[in-house]
Amino acid sequence: MLFCKAWVFLFQGKLHSYDIDTRRFQRYMKKQICLKKEEIFMIIKKIMNNNVVFVKDKKKNELILVGSGIGFKMKPGMKADESKVEKTFLLSKFKEQKRLVELLSKISSEDFKLADHIIQYAKASLGTDLNENIYVTLTDHMVFAMERTRKGIIFRNALLWEIKQFYPQEFAIGQYAIEVIEKKTGIKMAEDEAGFIALHIANARSDGDIAEVEVTTKILKAALKIIKLTYQIELDEDSLDYSRFVVHMKYFVGRLMKKKLLDQNDPVFIDMIKQQYSKAFGCAVKIGQLVTEQYGMEINDDELVYLTIHIQRITNSISNKKSLDK
């Protein structure tokens, strides 16, 4: 709460027996106003280690404070030293609260700072916030990956090529991450790890879970294969239409997994697309059958029609290019 006091001494038309203009009066008033900031008391409830403490604030919010030496020589019931706070986590924002507490109590402050640096870089690069749970998922993955790499255990990423194609921004962040890790720790990670980190970033960006990103990537790969086989063409991965198709597929799979399908309910439009783009529609049906058979997700006509339009666009641009080349 802010406490403000102001004293204005008025003397019959004059202030302090001399004339004063508006600006001088405003300056005078500012000098007389006393502001008292509300102190935020965060009482320590549990000390995880020298660098992590569990606290409650005045509003009974449960928080985790991270900072070098914030728990050193402290005891439950004492007020946390706010000057040492480097990162604050409001537990109510996290799905996996127990895992966050356990993770932060075990890892070193250096490892946490490294993960935080990469997460902040990702936010700045993408120009967007990320789901707070990335502090659990990515940090946990990084610490485990560094331990594995130290021991010479390398995990190969079966989706590396697809991650590069479908998540180029996130993969670039992954590459930056392994470069920073090597610079800070001396641990040289394989490119596969950049792909794994990219998946975590993509997951945090979509606010889903890592399984959803992996399923999306696999469906994208299968869909592109069906299109190539159906039309006997190679797709231009640098084209705008290709990028649009990839974006559509990401949202398409997201809707399927959340069971929030398009529902325009326009049978005339659906029939027109089926007839006008019969080959593309047949291709869309094959993709739909694969999704249903392998992942148990049903697709309605509206989704098939919009998928058809994107298939028509991406394949038509290739056909037009071939005609021009001739």
Judgement on whether residues 305 and 224 belong to the same structural domain of the protein: yes
Judgement on whether residues 145 and 169 belong to the same structural domain of the protein: yes
Task: Please tell me the predicted confidence (pLDDT) of residue 96.
Answer: 66
Q: Which residue has the higher pLDDT, 123 or 244?
A: 123
- Residue of 168, 318, 132 whose CA lies nearest to 247: 168
How many residues appear in the chain? 326
Average pLDDT of the residues in 116-142: 90
Q: What is the pLDDT of residues 285-304, one digit of tens each?
A: 999 999 999 999 989 998 99
Judgement on whether residues 203 and 244 belong to the same structural domain of the protein: no
Judgement on whether residues 174 and 252 belong to the same structural domain of the protein: no
Say yes or no to pLDDT of 6 above 70: no
Q: Which residue range forms the structural domain that includes residue 3?
A: 1-38
Contact of 321 with 236, CB cutoff 8 Å: yes
Judgement on whether residues 116 and 194 belong to the same structural domain of the protein: yes
Task: Please tell me the predicted confidence (pLDDT) of residue 122.
Answer: 95
Integer CA distances (angstroms), 237 to 24, 28, 32, 220, 244, in order: 67, 67, 67, 13, 11
Helix, strand, or coil (residue 245): helix
Longest dimension (CA), the chain: 95
Q: How many angstroms separate the CA atoms of 279 and 281, rounded?
A: 5
Contacts of 40 (CB under 8 A, 6+ apart): 57, 58, 82
Last residue of a domain, one of 153, 188, 208: 208
Judgement on whether residues 231 and 317 belong to the same structural domain of the protein: yes
Task: Please tell me the predicted confidence (pLDDT) of residue 112.
Answer: 87
Task: Please tell me the predicted confidence (pLDDT) of residue 177.
Answer: 97
Q: DSSP letter string over 135-169? A: HHHHHHHHHHHHHHHHTT-----TTHHHHHHH-HH
Judgement on whether residues 26 and 83 belong to the same structural domain of the protein: no
Task: Please tell me the predicted confidence (pLDDT) of residue 193.
Answer: 95
Last residue of a domain, one of 158, 177, 208: 208
Say yes or no to pLDDT of 32 above 60: no
Judgement on whether residues 55 and 148 belong to the same structural domain of the protein: no
Judgement on whether residues 197 and 281 belong to the same structural domain of the protein: no
| Cα first-last separation, the chain | 76
**Which of 105-114, 136-145, 263-272 tops mean pLDDT?**
136-145
Contact of 53 with 44, CB cutoff 8 Å: yes
Question: pTM of the predicted model, to two decimals?
Answer: 0.63
10 Å Cβ neighbour count for 58?
11
Judgement on whether residues 222 and 296 belong to the same structural domain of the protein: yes
Judgement on whether residues 167 and 134 belong to the same structural domain of the protein: yes
Average pLDDT of the residues in 307-311: 90
Q: How many angstroms separate the CA atoms of 234 and 246, rounded?
A: 15
CATH number reported for the structural domain that contains residue 119 in this entry? 1.10.1790.10
Judgement on whether residues 84 and 126 belong to the same structural domain of the protein: no
* Count of domains forming the chain: 4
Question: Could you tell me the pLDDT band of residue 179, with boundaries at 50, 70 and 90?
Answer: very high
Task: Please tell me the predicted confidence (pLDDT) of residue 213.
Answer: 84
Last residue of a domain, one of 51, 85, 105: 105
**Which of 25-29, 35-39, 53-57, 205-209 tops mean pLDDT?**
53-57
